[in-house]
Amino acid sequence: MSDFTHAEWRTARKRHQCYEGAHHIEAGQRYLHASGIFDGGFYASSTCLPCTSFRDLVGEVDDSYWEGYFGGLRLWVWHEYWNEVSDRPMGLHLLRLSRLFGRNWEGLSGELDAARARMHGLNAARK
Ligand SMILES: [Zn+2]
């Protein structure tokens, strides 16, 4: 049986547990709903907007964090892998985001946008 994933953005009608962090997605908030078959088992997950953005950024800077690795952010932050990513210019952004993630995004303001802007700048400079 082949693995597959379907992912779509939804607006929460009720409270969900975020798949990545120890926090909730409240009714009315946007979240990424993913479902599919993996290793022969069905799964479904709901991930909040900040965690989804953070996960995308980590996927870009860390080659061993494969794209779409769901549920791996806690371990990535816990093991302080931002120290090891080769892309040093992103190091400070990743440290900040890791700390905010650890506080369940409390106090989040423009950090995700700043990190994304920096990433786009770095990607553009590489081309
Ligand atoms: Zn989350």
Centroid of ligand 1 to alpha carbon of 78 (angstroms): 15
pLDDT tens, 63-117? 888 766 778 899 999 988 888 876 678 889 999 999 999 999 999 999 999 999 9
pLDDT (average), residues 114-121:
93
Centroid of ligand 1 to alpha carbon of 106 (angstroms): 11
Centroid of ligand 1 to alpha carbon of 81 (angstroms): 19
Centroid of ligand 1 to alpha carbon of 21 (angstroms): 5
Question: What distances in angstroms separate CA 32 from CA 3, 45, 51, one per listed residue?
Answer: 19, 8, 10
Token pair for 70: 């769901």
User: For the purposes of burial, counting CB atoms within 10 Å of the CB of 123, is it exposed (0-12), middle (13-18) or buried (19 or more)?
Assistant: exposed
Q: Which residues lie at CB < 5 A from ion ligand 1?
A: 18, 20-21, 48, 51
**How many beta carbons lie within 10 A of that of residue 36, not counting itself?**
15
What pLDDT does residue 67 have? Answer: 63
Centroid of ligand 1 to alpha carbon of 46 (angstroms): 9
Whether 62 has a pLDDT exceeding 60, the answer reads yes
- The domain spans of the chain are 4-48, 49-126
Packing angle between helix 91-102 and helix 111-126, nearest 10 degrees?
Answer: 150
CA 29 – CA 67 distance, rounded (Å): 24
Centroid of ligand 1 to alpha carbon of 39 (angstroms): 24
Question: What is the value of pTM for the model shown?
Answer: 0.87
What pLDDT does residue 110 have? Answer: 96
